[in-house]
Structure 1
Amino acid sequence: MAIVTILATVIFTWALLEYSPESPANYIFAQISPSALAGQRAEQIYASLEQYLQTLKPHGNPIIEALSYLWNFLHGNMGVSIIYEEPVTKLIANALPWTLFIVVTSVVISFIIGVRIGEKMGYKRGTKTDSILTMTFITIRSIPVYILGTIFLFFLGYILGIFPTGGAYSVNVTPGFNLPFVISVLRHAVLPITTLTLINLAGWALHMRANTIYTLGEDYVNFAETRGVMDKIIESKYVGRNSMLPLYTSLIITLGFSFGGSIFVEEIFSYPGVGLLLYNSVMNNDYPVEMGILVIIVFAVVIGMLLADLTYSLLDPRVKVGE
């Protein structure tokens, strides 16, 4: 099913973008100087541009072309970017490490902290601390990520000048495994990671709180309390572990979507990841890059869900495959 899903999605995505009425013509026109569009020269440019755009459109049997794209995709060939004029695989390969660095880091940190806080909130449900934290996390969760990122960028970047306002590292450092470069990369990643961590942490905490409250009503928890099992053991082994199981699949799916980056965060902080690459491609209708990134996201999510299905029974022995 995973293989069929990936192949079907690749073909479907190709058809949607390849036969879209949009084209990169606007970007190409913008690169032409106004003086070049005067007189007879304009007619030549328009004719050349029209001929070039025709080469970008699909020709012939769409089934053959879809299978051709699928064949090239399986061999690592996703075409050439219209805007950047470079292979799509090269563009994604250059941007993907930066995206995985900030997104995966924020997801892991927020998951570990959020699960722990949510467990405490659920176990202490109804208390003043639980009410305050619940309102706080609901408020944070309600703030759009681009608003939160803009606030951090404005105050911590422009006003206070504590952190850089864009890029992945400073231009005056030499890229490589050296201390100045590592420090520069970490400083540039603080604001994007913090923004994504706060948003994700609120979601994990609220979800874990709800699971914990539900688990506290189970019979095995009541039986453990009746037997006089220590509260600490009930909280960690009986409630915590079972409440976290439903979050496992969500974590895997979130990590899969991380391959697509965070478009708003990367665009706000000018972070050179896949999200910013996708944003620029969409704005300029660079459909080879769009298709490449969307296919990578689908591939990562489907494989992640497959791994979640295969490993869930290892985490919860009660889950068995029936005949």
Structure 2
Amino acid sequence: MNYKWLIRRLASAILAIFVTIVISWALLEFSPYSPANYIMQFISPQDFAQKPALYASLIQYLNTLRPHGNPIINAVNYISNVLHGNLGVSIISDVPVTQLIASALPWTLFIVVTSLLISFFLGIRIGQKLGYIRGSKADSATTVSLSILRSIPVYIYAVLLVYILGFTFHVLPTGGAYSINVTPGLNLPFIISVLYHALLPIVTLTLVNLVGWILQMRANTIYVLGEDFVNFAEISGIKKDIIEKKYIGKNAILPLYTSLIIAIGFSFSGSVFVEQTFSYPGVGLLLINAITSNDYPTEMGVFIIIIAAVVIGNLIADLTYSFLDPRAKVGED
């Protein structure tokens, strides 16, 4: 491995995370919306006459979260706290942001990773079969249908599934992570309830991701089928199933490996709409609640998680790709 390339790659990943954090912080720092406006909605009608004074006191309290008038100093302080693992305290719930993210992250990882793995392995099998029947009527009809399905936003899938399977046929629960009548912990009723409530979010994300994997694998399979080594293997009399698995499947799936790793990071942003629709207590729902209440520290904490997931996923894909494909030497220009 070229260690100079590795150092440059790590440095670029750290720089990318740093720059996006600074940009995100600046957008929130200079936002015209105040958390005080959200908090004031819950003031009782009896205190309406005191609202101007209450609003002023809220503003004064919230300003203590930014002790310096200079935004540059505030930015330096914030980034320094982030580097020390301190993401601040939620303005609305008065709970440390790291604690909120730690409780929400496992739920998001569960549905994101599960749906990605299911859609990936299903997609490569279906896509490979479509590649073999390229040009046929079945292939054309399937490809057009998949292209149309790919253009449908994820929240449309979520709304349709929750309406049909949840409200119409009452087959699956419409929200939450588990039933309120089970005790959380390592017990069978709780595990079954968690799986039962996660079905709709997982199915939604699987459907969205599946279409993309099928189309990509189909295109890769068609490309590999035209390679000389495949024609040579067929002429040599090698069995069809061996050619399909070792010659075509392996080479067609290699380009998808990088996409799979990076997709894990991007799926965090896609889970926002799914978790909001199903009231699933993951990072996406945490972000939506933070945005609606102008909870700046929580927003920034979730942004950092999403940014880091995408950049780290890209870095892992670059570093490990050569293990799958020896022809790709890490660090070589």
User: Where on the TM-score scale, by shorter chain, does this alignment land: which range?
Assistant: over 0.9
1:97 matched to 2:116? The reply is: no
Out of 103, 114, 118, the residue aligned to residue 123 of structure 2 is 114
Are the counterparts in 2 of residues 163 and 191 from structure 1 also a CA contact under 8 Å? yes
Aligned ranges 1:32-71 → 2 under 5 Å: 32-38=43-49, 41-57=50-66, 59-71=68-80
Aligned ranges 1:183-198 → 2 under 5 Å: 183-198=192-207
Question: d(CA) in 2 for partners of 1:139 and 1:242?
Answer: 27
Aligned to 1:256: 265
Question: d(CA) in 2 for partners of 1:166 and 1:233?
Answer: 46
Question: d(CA) in 1 for partners of 2:75 and 2:32?
Answer: 18
1:86 matched to 2:86? The reply is: no
Are the counterparts in 2 of residues 78 and 88 from structure 1 also a CA contact under 8 Å? yes
Residues 185-234 of structure 1: CA distance to partner in whole angstroms, max 9, x if unpaired? 11101111011101101110011111111121222222222333322222
Question: d(CA) in 1 for partners of 2:254 and 2:298?
Answer: 36
Shift of 1:155: 1.5
Are the counterparts in 1 of residues 154 and 270 from structure 2 also a CA contact under 8 Å? no
Question: d(CA) in 2 for partners of 1:287 and 1:63?
Answer: 17
Are the counterparts in 1 of residues 154 and 205 from structure 2 also a CA contact under 8 Å? yes
Are the counterparts in 1 of residues 28 and 296 from structure 2 also a CA contact under 8 Å? yes
Shift of 1:259: 4.3
Question: d(CA) in 2 for partners of 1:89 and 1:261?
Answer: 21
Pick which of 53-62 and 17-26 moved more.
Answer: 53-62
Shift of 1:25: 2.5
TM-score relative to the length of structure 1: 0.94
Aligned to 2:37: 26
Out of 203, 214, 235, the residue aligned to residue 212 of structure 2 is 203
Residues 119-146 of structure 1: CA distance to partner in whole angstroms, max 9, x if unpaired? 1111221224323432332232222211
1:233 matched to 2:242? The reply is: yes
Out of 273, 289, 307, the residue aligned to residue 298 of structure 1 is 307
Letter in 2 for 1:78: L
Aligned to 1:13: 24
**Structure 2 counterpart SS, 1:84:** coil
Could you say if the C-alpha distance between residues 207 and 58 of structure 1 is closer, same or farther in structure 2, counting changes exceeding 3 Å? farther
Are the counterparts in 2 of residues 18 and 58 from structure 1 also a CA contact under 8 Å? no
Question: d(CA) in 2 for partners of 1:205 and 1:85?
Answer: 45
Q: Could you tell me the percent identity over the aligned residues?
A: 64
Question: d(CA) in 1 for partners of 2:216 and 2:131?
Answer: 10
Question: d(CA) in 1 for partners of 2:170 and 2:135?
Answer: 41
Shift of 1:260: 4.7
TM-score relative to the length of structure 2: 0.91
Residues 77-119 of structure 1: CA distance to partner in whole angstroms, max 9, x if unpaired? 1001112221100100010111111111000100011011101
Aligned ranges 1:263-278 → 2 under 5 Å: 263-278=272-287
Number of residue pairs aligned between Structure 1 and Structure 2: 321
Runs of 5+ in structure 2 lacking a partner?
1-11
Aligned to 1:77: 86
Out of 219, 242, 255, the residue aligned to residue 246 of structure 1 is 255
Letter in 1 for 2:194: V
**Structure 2 counterpart SS, 1:262:** helix
Pick which of 298-307 and 55-64 moved more.
Answer: 55-64
